[in-house]
Amino acid sequence: MFSMRTLRRLISKLRTFIGAHGEKPPSGIDFEALQKVLNYSIHNKELFHEALMHRSYLQIIGKESATSNERLEFLGDSVLNLIIGEYLYYHLPDSEEGELTKIRSRFVNRKALIILAHDLQLREFLLLSPSANQIPGKGKETILSDAFEAILGAIYLDGGYKEAKKFVERCLNNVISQGSLKLHDENYKSQLLEQSQAISLDYPKYITISEVGPDHDRTFTVEVFLGKKSFGVGVGKNKKDAEQSAAKKALQKLNLNKSLT
C-alpha cells in the first residue's frame, strides 16, 4: 500500500507530465494545416518538427537525440536580415543607408516577429511542455517570435533561399496591408526631433492653440515651433494626434526648404 505522502508525490509527477488541466502534451503536428498557414509545401517534416519544438518539450519526450528549435532560430535570424535588407533595397530606392538600417531594425525586432507569428497562428503548432504553455505575457511572446525565425530557417534548408524569400515577402505583404506593420515610420515627432537636431535647429516646441467641443468630442489645434519660428499647425481629437499632425507639416516644410537650397 502507498502512503499518503508517496501517493501525493506520484500525483504531482503525473500532473507535471500531463499538465495541470489534465491535457496530454501535444504528440505531433498537423502538417497539412501547417502547410496551409505557411503557404509552403513541406518536404522534410523533421525540420519543421524541430522548428516548432521548444526546449521545454524535450523533457516531455525524453529523447536525448532530439533537438529544440534554437539552432534553426539562429539560422532563421540571419536569413531574415538578408531578406529584409534586399526587400527594402528594392522597395525604397530613394532611402539612404542609415534610413534603411533603421527601417530594417523595425522589421526584424521581437515586436515585428510576434506580429508575423500571430498572423500565421504559429501558437497552434508549438510543441511546449505544460508549464511552458502556461507562461504568460512576454514569455510566451518570446517563444512565438523565436518559432517564426526557426520556421524561416527550416524553409531555407528545406526549399532554399528563393522559397524563404517568397515566404517572408508574403508574410510582410500581409501584415503591411493589414496595417499591423508599417513600412514607413509614422512617428513624425521623433522624426522632427531627429532632423531638427541634425541641422542644428532648436528642439521642437508644441503649443496648444485651442481646445473646442464637448468633453466627449474635443478637437485640439497645436502649433509647433523651432526656435521662434512656426513650422506647422496640426489638428486632432487629442493632443498627441494634433502634435503628430503639426510635426508632419513641419517635416514637409523642412524638406521643402532643403530642396530649395
pLDDT reported for residue 9:
57
The model's confidence at residue 92, banded by pLDDT at 50, 70 and 90, is: confident
pLDDT reported for residue 11:
44
Largest pairwise CA distance in the chain: 93
Render pLDDT for 166-218 as a digit per residue (tens, 0 to 9): 999 999 988 888 877 766 666 788 888 888 887 878 889 999 999 999 888 89
**Is pLDDT above 80 for 17?**
no
What residue has cell string 519526450? 61
> What is the number of other CB atoms lying within 10 angstroms of the CB of residue 207?
13
pLDDT reported for residue 183:
63
Render pLDDT for 129-139 as a digit per residue (tens, 0 to 9): 877 777 766 67
Q: What percent of the chain has pLDDT over 90?
A: 46
Q: Across all residues in the chain, what is the average pLDDT? A: 83
Q: Which of 149, 179, 185 has its CA nearest to residue 167?
A: 149
Q: Which of 73, 141, 146, 149 is catalytic?
A: 149
Q: Which of 70, 77, 86, 241 is catalytic?
A: 77
Give a three-class secondary structure readout of the chain: CCCHHHHHHHHHHHHHHHCCCCCCCCCCCCHHHHHHHHCCCCCCHHHHHHHCECHHHHHHHCCCCCCCCHHHHHHHHHHHHHHHHHHHHHHCCCCCHHHHHHHHHHHHCHHHHHHHHHHCCHHHCCECCHHHHCCCHHHHHHHHHHHHHHHHHHHHHHHCHHHHHHHHHHHHHHHHHHCCCCCCCCCHHHHHHHHHHHCCCCCEEEEEEEEECCHHHCEEEEEEEECCEEEEEEEECCHHHHHHHHHHHHHHHHHHHHHHC
- Using alpha carbons, list the distances in angstroms from residue 193 to 111, 135, 149, 153: 24, 39, 34, 38
Distance from C-alpha of 128 to C-alpha of 137, rounded to nearest angstrom? 15
**Is pLDDT above 50 for 87?**
yes
pLDDT reported for residue 12:
47
The answer to whether 80 touches 168, Cβ cutoff 8 Å, is: yes
Distance from C-alpha of 238 to C-alpha of 70, rounded to nearest angstrom? 44
Out of 18-22, 73-77, 189-193, give the one with best mean pLDDT: 73-77
What structural domains does the chain harbor?
18-178 (1.10.1520.10), 188-260 (3.30.160.20)
The cell for 145 is 517570435
* Catalytic (active site) residue 96: no
Average pLDDT over residues 67-72: 92
pLDDT reported for residue 45:
94
pLDDT reported for residue 34:
95
pLDDT reported for residue 178:
85
pLDDT reported for residue 220:
95
**Poorest-pLDDT segment among 8-22, 43-57, 110-124:** 8-22
Distance from C-alpha of 242 to C-alpha of 238, rounded to nearest angstrom? 6
Distance from C-alpha of 236 to C-alpha of 261, rounded to nearest angstrom? 32
**Is pLDDT above 70 for 46?**
yes
Total-model pTM: 0.64
Average pLDDT over residues 79-91: 93
Sheet containing 229-236: order of strands: 204-212, 219-226, 229-236
**Is pLDDT above 50 for 50?**
yes
pLDDT reported for residue 62:
66
Phi-psi bin for 170: left (phi > 0), alpha (psi -120 to 50), beta? alpha
